[in-house]
């Protein structure tokens, strides 16, 4: 069965394909010829992931899941949250976002944070289905590691000593917030495919 993941991010696609595996053919936006900017005007992660998945499903007729992820830092009252990708502006520059975050956290010794991903699936169930993955952790004083993307170089998950960016894709996919949400999605998809 073909399922569109509403992204062209190669990292995200690789992670999702790795988890959802053989039963479903995961395709990117590019592969269904969707080249427009997807709507993300909701004040919540849930709302944005729903908006993106519905847009693709309604326009292209392909069952679709979309994710929205936010980094929520405790002492910053949950910032950057839903604005994580454009924290430092509409140019969506990860380095500038990290610079701004580290600057805002400069005087805070307490750097607890969590990554939260919400995935919404549209087109297979009578109503949209949402799946959430949360990983607690902390923000480092400086960047460490070169793999991954986004805030990965400054986030250390609880119980670990390495940032996401210091981990291999395999290590990270065992414990990342998006992987947790994708696993919940996968479990749901399995129940659907066994029902057919």
Residue in this structure with the two tokens 């499903």, named with its chain if needed: 57
Of 118, 112, 119, the C-alpha closest to 157 is 112
Report the relative pairing of strands 112-122 and 64-73 from DSSP bridges: antiparallel
pLDDT value for 196: 61
pLDDT value for 18: 85
Catalytic residues: 68
Residues 6 or more apart whose CB falls under 8 angstroms from that of 67 comprise 5, 6, 7, 12, 49, 117, 118, 119, 120, 178, 181
pLDDT value for 147: 87
Q: Which domains does the chain have, with CATH numbers?
A: 2-195 (3.90.950.10)
Q: Using a CB cutoff of 8 Å and minimum separation of 24, what contacts does 136-140 make?
A: 136/112, 137/112, 137/113, 138/111, 138/112, 138/113, 139/73, 139/101, 139/102, 139/105, 139/111, 139/113, 140/111
pTM of the model: 0.89
Block means of pLDDT (10 residues each) for the chain, 196 residues, are 92 86 88 94 96 98 96 97 94 95 95 97 97 98 92 96 92 88 94 77
Of 15, 119, 111, 120, the C-alpha closest to 72 is 111
pLDDT value for 192: 86
């Amino acid at each position: 069965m073909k399922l569109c993941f509403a992204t062209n991010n190669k990292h995200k696609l690789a992670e999702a394909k790795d988890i959802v595996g053989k039963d479903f053919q995961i395709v990117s936006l590019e592969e269904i010829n969707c080249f427009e900017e997807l709507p993300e005007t909701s004040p919540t992660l849930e709302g944005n992931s729903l908006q993106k998945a519905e847009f693709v499903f309604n326009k292209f007729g392909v069952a679709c899941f979309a994710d929205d992820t936010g980094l929520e830092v405790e002492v910053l009252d949950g910032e950057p949250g839903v604005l994580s990708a454009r924290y430092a502006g509409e140019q969506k520059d990860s380095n500038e976002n990290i610079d701004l975050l580290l600057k805002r956290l400069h005087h805070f010794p307490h750097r607890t944070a969590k990554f939260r991903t919400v995935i919404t699936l549209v087109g297979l169930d009578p109503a949209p289905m949402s799946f959430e993955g949360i990983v607690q952790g902390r923000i480092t004083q400086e960047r460490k590691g070169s793999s991954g993307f986004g805030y990965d170089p400054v986030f250390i998950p609880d119980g670990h000593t390495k940032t996401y960016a210091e981990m291999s894709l395999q290590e990270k996919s065992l414990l990342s917030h998006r992987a947790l949400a994708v696993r919940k999605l996968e479990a749901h998809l399995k129940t659907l495919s066994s029902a057919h």
